[in-house]
Structure 1
């Protein structure tokens, strides 16, 4: 195994537990995976659901303080909910104490929610193409936004994060403002120079994240930035996403060639049967998201009621593309994903009901992947 592995932490709240405990679990996991040789520890931004990483930059600072060498970052800051100045000042503040360790990942938020809500939600349709297996990697039909059963709560959540009357800002413009604030070249529309303190000159690495071949992938390419393709969120579009990034790439001073990270959702246990049991409520979690209720507390596989056939159909793409099994099983599938996409690095997320099982998942994978060798290189 030659490419590095990193961790994406969703900071999930388990059924019967609390957000406070989820935060403690995230910090504990970060400490462990640093010792196991993972390269980065990224935290996702979600709001009004049962995950504890909503104040992402705050949690990043806590993780940075609790670790020593691992890179820590966002996957990703949702720019529809933040101004460029607030993003740069937040990360600049963390960088002031932990310089050279931050990854500032940027993503598009739900700018299209308003249009989707006003247009109405079409019923779930039969996919246009069947699930394929390409070089050992499952590529399901793309999940379309209209397949989500109810977007009312999603739209309300998005609106609650904005000032009244605020309008969505152009994503590429926000990215350019962040770059300008970081390098000290920012000027307002009235040609007034402003400087972010702290923030300007911060030694942070800028990343873009995307789940399609659209604006994010192409912008990352044009700007010569590293890019993360979200196979774990949108497995049906990963190949077009990767192609769009590479096809639009313009070499930059820091990145003369594309640098691609691809994500995967994994559950590793000592054997395949144990891993399948631990992962058996993953579909419940995805269903809670796609039904419109938002990510629910992660259910206990020992007590959860199985999904109905109709519920399973709504989450089939995500279940079949989760990497579940013993260490050799998962490592083999991850290797296939890396080879198919040409990823320079893989980032894995592992969600289980018990924190101990999540630790085991990352520990077993690190050992099987040979991370100590990767880290030394």
Structure 2
């Protein structure tokens, strides 16, 4: 099947990290039975509502609890670790589950520094009398909504997040160039590095690059002949430029003769549209907690979300994510996903779903799998 799952191991209000991890393992087992192709775990830190802070550990647990589904990272943040440590961790898991592990890699540390530098430069050049930049409007491309871009530079320069960033690395550490890090990962895996990663060298890992724009991640993935995952659910405004940049940069490799693209989407599915929208109601509040710098909050109930008093600034802050969430019946969501696949040319789709109650999340994935497999 050309559907896969991305899981953040969400902690919902009134529940614990242990509950979230048990739910992740249960969902992975059910996803395997439903026929999903991959089960990826995200990497998030300092988030009261997310338990997937150590993806390699969680991947090992999920792989041990399943038998056939591919399990991987979406994505390991290479800005926080060395290529050697990543290869050793994933090589260890592959040693016990050979041929089932995906090593998805992101470049968060370097990306954060670049955005902070750009923000500082804009601030220095701006005069007090200058009006704020006007946001471009949404557009629809062959049925797919492409919203205005969200300015992530405001988020990465948040004082609390800047402090958190220092906790993810040793004092004084600097993140090397991403391309060089990827080359080191590949060299450790294929045994051409001057040092040997054990376990890791010769591991049957499938290496992926994840990206949210047409920048270095897409370029590196293409130039190294690696598969690429573009984030419509995180950065929907940039998804088309991301996949285009990857395809333009692509060079065949020993593992991949042609470009291979996965595109992500946030979905909530229920038997009827009204129920789906009720289950999805807390999503905007959850995104707001991330974009205000406090970290993903424990995922609220629909009733808790309804009690929030929204300002116009709140709505603007989360509009791109809320407007591009696919919510509805199985057939409605499957059709919107087919539009996403057609417009982006994706070879595979990666869906992520968060609801307060675990049973609703399981049911959403099961209903979608059934609809997707229907002729």
How does the TM-score come out when normalised to structure 1? 0.93
Aligned pair count reads: 364
1:353 aligns with 2:352: no
User: Structure 1 residues 223-232 or 145-154, which shifts more?
Assistant: 145-154
2:246 is aligned to: 245
1:190 is aligned to: none
Q: 1:6 aligns with which of 4, 12, 35?
A: 4
User: Structure 1 residues 287-296 or 301-310, which shifts more?
Assistant: 301-310
2:201 is aligned to: 200
1:283 is aligned to: 284
In the alignment, the residues of structure 2 paired with residue 73 and residue 167 of structure 1 have an alpha-carbon distance, to the nearest angstrom, of 26
**CA deviation digits over 1:139-190, x for unaligned, max 9?**
0011112343961122111110101111111111111001000001102xxx
Greater than 3 Å deviation, 4+ residue runs: 112-128, 146-150
In the alignment, the residues of structure 2 paired with residue 125 and residue 322 of structure 1 have an alpha-carbon distance, to the nearest angstrom, of 28
In the alignment, the residues of structure 1 paired with residue 296 and residue 115 of structure 2 have an alpha-carbon distance, to the nearest angstrom, of 20
8 A Cα contact 1:14 1:299, kept in partner: yes
1:158 alignment partner, SS class? helix
2:72 is aligned to: 73
Cα distance, 1:125 vs. partner?
Answer: 5.2
Q: 2:162 aligns with which of 155, 161, 185?
A: 155
In the alignment, the residues of structure 2 paired with residue 276 and residue 71 of structure 1 have an alpha-carbon distance, to the nearest angstrom, of 30
In the alignment, the residues of structure 1 paired with residue 292 and residue 45 of structure 2 have an alpha-carbon distance, to the nearest angstrom, of 16
In the alignment, the residues of structure 2 paired with residue 70 and residue 249 of structure 1 have an alpha-carbon distance, to the nearest angstrom, of 27
8 A Cα contact 1:113 1:155, kept in partner: no
In the alignment, the residues of structure 2 paired with residue 84 and residue 117 of structure 1 have an alpha-carbon distance, to the nearest angstrom, of 24
2:218 is aligned to: 217
In the alignment, the residues of structure 1 paired with residue 79 and residue 249 of structure 2 have an alpha-carbon distance, to the nearest angstrom, of 24
Cα distance, 1:114 vs. partner?
Answer: 4.6
Q: 1:35 aligns with which of 33, 36, 42?
A: 33
2:293 alignment partner, SS class? coil
8 A Cα contact 1:331 1:369, kept in partner: yes
1:107 is aligned to: 106
**Structure 1: any 5+ residue segments left out of the alignment?**
188-193
Cα distance, 1:309 vs. partner?
Answer: 2.4
Cα distance, 1:303 vs. partner?
Answer: 2.6
In the alignment, the residues of structure 1 paired with residue 350 and residue 226 of structure 2 have an alpha-carbon distance, to the nearest angstrom, of 17
Aligned in 2, Cα 1:203/1:115: closer, same or farther, shift over 3 Å?
closer
1:139 is aligned to: 146
1:261 is aligned to: 262
2:109 alignment partner, SS class? coil
1:336 aligns with 2:339: yes
In the alignment, the residues of structure 1 paired with residue 67 and residue 183 of structure 2 have an alpha-carbon distance, to the nearest angstrom, of 31
Aligned in 2, Cα 1:116/1:176: closer, same or farther, shift over 3 Å?
closer
Aligned in 2, Cα 1:331/1:125: closer, same or farther, shift over 3 Å?
farther
In the alignment, the residues of structure 2 paired with residue 126 and residue 352 of structure 1 have an alpha-carbon distance, to the nearest angstrom, of 35
1:303 alignment partner, SS class? helix
User: Structure 1 residues 124-133 or 316-325, which shifts more?
Assistant: 124-133
**Structure 2: any 5+ residue segments left out of the alignment?**
none
How does the TM-score come out when normalised to structure 2? 0.93
Q: CA RMSD in A?
A: 1.8
In the alignment, the residues of structure 1 paired with residue 180 and residue 157 of structure 2 have an alpha-carbon distance, to the nearest angstrom, of 31
**CA deviation digits over 1:211-260, x for unaligned, max 9?**
00000001100111100000000000000001000011111122111000
Aligned in 2, Cα 1:257/1:113: closer, same or farther, shift over 3 Å?
closer
Q: 1:324 aligns with which of 317, 323, 327?
A: 327
